[in-house]
Structure 1
Amino acid sequence: MGNDKLIRDADGTLVPQHKDATGWVETGDAYPLPVRPLVAKEAWEGNADETKTFESSRRGFNIVNDGDADLTFTINGATRRVKASESYSGAFDPFTEVSIVTTVPYRAEVLA
Protein backbone atom coordinates (compact mmCIF):
# COMPACT_ATOMS: atom_id res chain seq x y z
CA MET A 1 0.00 0.00 0.00
CA GLY A 2 1.12 3.58 -0.59
CA ASN A 3 2.61 6.03 1.83
CA ASP A 4 -0.20 8.10 3.41
CA LYS A 5 2.11 10.30 5.52
CA LEU A 6 4.22 13.23 4.41
CA ILE A 7 7.89 12.34 3.93
CA ARG A 8 10.46 13.99 6.21
CA ASP A 9 14.24 13.80 6.28
CA ALA A 10 16.30 12.69 9.29
CA ASP A 11 15.92 16.15 10.88
CA GLY A 12 12.15 16.10 10.48
CA THR A 13 12.12 18.62 7.63
CA LEU A 14 9.60 18.02 4.86
CA VAL A 15 11.22 17.00 1.55
CA PRO A 16 9.93 17.89 -1.93
CA GLN A 17 7.12 15.46 -2.72
CA HIS A 18 3.82 15.01 -4.47
CA LYS A 19 0.87 12.74 -3.97
CA ASP A 20 -0.08 10.23 -6.65
CA ALA A 21 -2.25 7.09 -6.73
CA THR A 22 0.22 5.28 -4.45
CA GLY A 23 0.47 8.03 -1.81
CA TRP A 24 3.22 10.57 -1.11
CA VAL A 25 6.27 10.22 -3.39
CA GLU A 26 9.60 11.98 -2.92
CA THR A 27 10.48 14.02 -6.00
CA GLY A 28 14.08 14.94 -5.28
CA ASP A 29 15.08 18.61 -5.63
CA ALA A 30 12.02 19.88 -7.47
CA TYR A 31 8.33 19.37 -7.78
CA PRO A 32 7.15 17.70 -10.99
CA LEU A 33 5.49 19.90 -13.58
CA PRO A 34 2.31 18.71 -15.21
CA VAL A 35 2.85 17.55 -18.80
CA ARG A 36 0.39 18.87 -21.34
CA PRO A 37 -0.19 16.42 -24.18
CA LEU A 38 0.20 17.57 -27.77
CA VAL A 39 -3.11 18.31 -29.52
CA ALA A 40 -3.69 18.12 -33.28
CA LYS A 41 -4.16 21.61 -34.77
CA GLU A 42 -3.95 21.51 -38.57
CA ALA A 43 -3.57 18.82 -41.23
CA TRP A 44 -2.91 19.13 -44.96
CA GLU A 45 -1.76 17.19 -48.01
CA GLY A 46 0.55 18.12 -50.84
CA ASN A 47 2.94 16.91 -53.53
CA ALA A 48 5.26 19.89 -54.08
CA ASP A 49 7.63 22.12 -52.11
CA GLU A 50 5.80 24.15 -49.49
CA THR A 51 6.52 26.39 -46.53
CA LYS A 52 3.71 26.62 -43.98
CA THR A 53 3.62 29.46 -41.45
CA PHE A 54 1.41 29.27 -38.36
CA GLU A 55 -0.07 32.17 -36.38
CA SER A 56 0.87 30.59 -33.05
CA SER A 57 3.62 28.22 -31.95
CA ARG A 58 3.43 24.52 -32.68
CA ARG A 59 5.34 21.80 -30.84
CA GLY A 60 4.75 18.61 -32.82
CA PHE A 61 4.89 17.47 -36.42
CA ASN A 62 3.79 14.30 -38.22
CA ILE A 63 4.33 13.51 -41.88
CA VAL A 64 3.62 10.47 -44.05
CA ASN A 65 5.50 10.07 -47.31
CA ASP A 66 3.01 8.48 -49.72
CA GLY A 67 5.45 8.54 -52.64
CA ASP A 68 8.25 6.48 -54.11
CA ALA A 69 11.08 9.00 -53.44
CA ASP A 70 12.45 10.68 -50.31
CA LEU A 71 11.22 14.04 -49.01
CA THR A 72 12.73 16.41 -46.46
CA PHE A 73 11.30 18.89 -43.98
CA THR A 74 12.93 21.62 -41.93
CA ILE A 75 11.84 22.88 -38.51
CA ASN A 76 13.89 25.31 -36.39
CA GLY A 77 16.79 25.04 -38.86
CA ALA A 78 17.06 21.24 -38.57
CA THR A 79 16.34 19.19 -41.71
CA ARG A 80 15.15 15.60 -41.59
CA ARG A 81 14.69 13.08 -44.39
CA VAL A 82 11.64 10.82 -44.68
CA LYS A 83 12.19 7.82 -46.94
CA ALA A 84 9.60 6.66 -49.49
CA SER A 85 6.55 5.01 -47.86
CA GLU A 86 7.76 5.93 -44.35
CA SER A 87 6.46 8.38 -41.74
CA TYR A 88 7.93 10.68 -39.12
CA SER A 89 6.48 11.94 -35.85
CA GLY A 90 8.30 14.19 -33.41
CA ALA A 91 8.08 16.87 -30.73
CA PHE A 92 10.11 20.07 -31.14
CA ASP A 93 10.95 23.29 -29.39
CA PRO A 94 8.17 25.74 -30.31
CA PHE A 95 8.11 26.63 -34.01
CA THR A 96 5.93 28.71 -36.33
CA GLU A 97 7.17 27.46 -39.70
CA VAL A 98 7.82 24.15 -41.44
CA SER A 99 9.32 23.79 -44.92
CA ILE A 100 8.75 20.63 -46.93
CA VAL A 101 10.82 19.81 -50.03
CA THR A 102 9.26 17.08 -52.16
CA THR A 103 8.16 15.90 -55.56
CA VAL A 104 5.97 13.12 -54.11
CA PRO A 105 2.61 13.12 -52.29
CA TYR A 106 2.55 13.46 -48.52
CA ARG A 107 0.16 14.01 -45.60
CA ALA A 108 1.24 16.29 -42.74
CA GLU A 109 -0.09 17.51 -39.40
CA VAL A 110 1.10 19.98 -36.76
CA LEU A 111 0.38 19.74 -33.04
CA ALA A 112 0.50 22.25 -30.21
Structure 2
Amino acid sequence: MQGFIAKDPFSGTANMDKKLSDVMTHLVISNDGNADLTFTAGNFTLTLPAGEIFDERLDPFTSLNVTATGKYHGYCRARA
Protein backbone atom coordinates (compact mmCIF):
# COMPACT_ATOMS: atom_id res chain seq x y z
CA MET A 1 0.00 0.00 0.00
CA GLN A 2 2.20 2.79 -1.27
CA GLY A 3 1.78 6.34 0.03
CA PHE A 4 0.49 5.47 3.52
CA ILE A 5 2.24 5.12 6.87
CA ALA A 6 1.23 3.47 10.13
CA LYS A 7 0.50 5.84 13.02
CA ASP A 8 -1.06 6.01 16.46
CA PRO A 9 -0.87 2.39 17.65
CA PHE A 10 -3.28 1.54 20.45
CA SER A 11 -4.30 -1.35 22.68
CA GLY A 12 -6.57 -1.89 25.63
CA THR A 13 -9.00 -3.99 27.60
CA ALA A 14 -11.68 -1.36 28.23
CA ASN A 15 -13.36 1.59 26.56
CA MET A 16 -11.11 4.11 24.80
CA ASP A 17 -11.55 7.57 23.30
CA LYS A 18 -8.51 8.65 21.28
CA LYS A 19 -7.82 11.91 19.47
CA LEU A 20 -5.50 10.98 16.62
CA SER A 21 -2.27 12.78 15.67
CA ASP A 22 -3.26 13.28 12.01
CA VAL A 23 -6.13 12.83 9.57
CA MET A 24 -6.31 9.06 9.15
CA THR A 25 -7.65 7.14 6.16
CA HIS A 26 -7.28 3.49 7.25
CA LEU A 27 -7.97 1.54 10.43
CA VAL A 28 -6.63 -1.83 11.54
CA ILE A 29 -8.12 -3.28 14.72
CA SER A 30 -7.92 -6.82 16.10
CA ASN A 31 -10.48 -8.01 18.63
CA ASP A 32 -8.38 -10.33 20.81
CA GLY A 33 -11.09 -10.74 23.46
CA ASN A 34 -13.96 -13.17 23.97
CA ALA A 35 -16.76 -10.63 23.41
CA ASP A 36 -17.77 -8.32 20.58
CA LEU A 37 -16.36 -4.79 20.54
CA THR A 38 -17.79 -1.71 18.85
CA PHE A 39 -15.67 1.03 17.34
CA THR A 40 -16.38 4.38 15.74
CA ALA A 41 -13.89 6.07 13.42
CA GLY A 42 -15.29 9.40 12.26
CA ASN A 43 -18.84 8.62 11.12
CA PHE A 44 -18.26 4.88 10.63
CA THR A 45 -19.39 2.50 13.40
CA LEU A 46 -19.05 -1.28 13.39
CA THR A 47 -19.40 -4.13 15.86
CA LEU A 48 -16.45 -6.49 15.49
CA PRO A 49 -16.96 -10.09 16.68
CA ALA A 50 -14.46 -11.73 19.04
CA GLY A 51 -11.40 -13.03 17.21
CA GLU A 52 -11.97 -10.92 14.07
CA ILE A 53 -9.71 -8.32 12.43
CA PHE A 54 -10.87 -5.18 10.61
CA ASP A 55 -8.45 -3.66 8.05
CA GLU A 56 -10.09 -1.15 5.73
CA ARG A 57 -9.87 2.26 4.16
CA LEU A 58 -12.46 4.70 5.54
CA ASP A 59 -13.57 8.26 5.02
CA PRO A 60 -10.96 10.51 6.68
CA PHE A 61 -11.23 10.56 10.48
CA THR A 62 -9.45 12.25 13.40
CA SER A 63 -10.82 10.38 16.41
CA LEU A 64 -11.39 6.79 17.42
CA ASN A 65 -13.77 5.38 20.00
CA VAL A 66 -13.68 1.74 21.13
CA THR A 67 -16.27 0.16 23.43
CA ALA A 68 -14.91 -3.13 24.72
CA THR A 69 -14.66 -5.45 27.70
CA GLY A 70 -11.80 -7.59 26.37
CA LYS A 71 -8.37 -7.21 24.78
CA TYR A 72 -7.83 -5.43 21.45
CA HIS A 73 -5.03 -3.72 19.57
CA GLY A 74 -4.51 -1.85 16.33
CA TYR A 75 -3.21 1.19 14.51
CA CYS A 76 -4.24 3.75 11.91
CA ARG A 77 -2.77 4.73 8.56
CA ALA A 78 -2.37 8.22 7.13
CA ARG A 79 -1.01 9.56 3.88
CA ALA A 80 2.78 9.72 3.90
TM, length-normalised to structure 2 = 0.88
Q: Distance in 2 between matches of 1:56 and 1:64?
A: 21
Q: List runs of 5+ in structure 2 lacking aligned partners.
A: none
Out of 70, 73, 76, the position equivalent to 1:107 is: 73
Q: Distance in 2 between matches of 1:36 and 1:66?
A: 28
- CA shift at 1:91, angstroms? 0.7
- CA shift at 1:108, angstroms? 1.3
Determine which structure has more spread, i.e. the larger CA radius of gyration. Answer: 1
Q: List runs of 5+ in structure 1 lacking aligned partners.
A: 1-34
Sequence identity percentage = 32
Deviations 1:10-57 (A, max 9, x none): xxxxxxxxxxxxxxxxxxxxxxxxx95321112121011111101320
Out of 40, 57, 60, the position equivalent to 2:23 is: 57
Out of 77, 82, 91, the position equivalent to 2:57 is: 91
Q: Distance in 1 between matches of 2:44 and 2:60?
A: 13
Q: Distance in 1 between matches of 2:53 and 2:21?
A: 25
Aligned length in residues: 78
Give the match for residue 5 of structure 1: none
TM, length-normalised to structure 1 = 0.64
**Which has the larger share of strand?**
2
Larger relative contact order, structure 1 or 2 (CA cutoff 8 Å, min sep 6): 2
Deviating 4+ runs (over 6 angstroms): none
Give the match for residue 69 of structure 1: 35
Partner secondary structure for residue 4 of structure 2: coil
Q: CA RMSD in A?
A: 1.5
- CA shift at 1:61, angstroms? 0.5
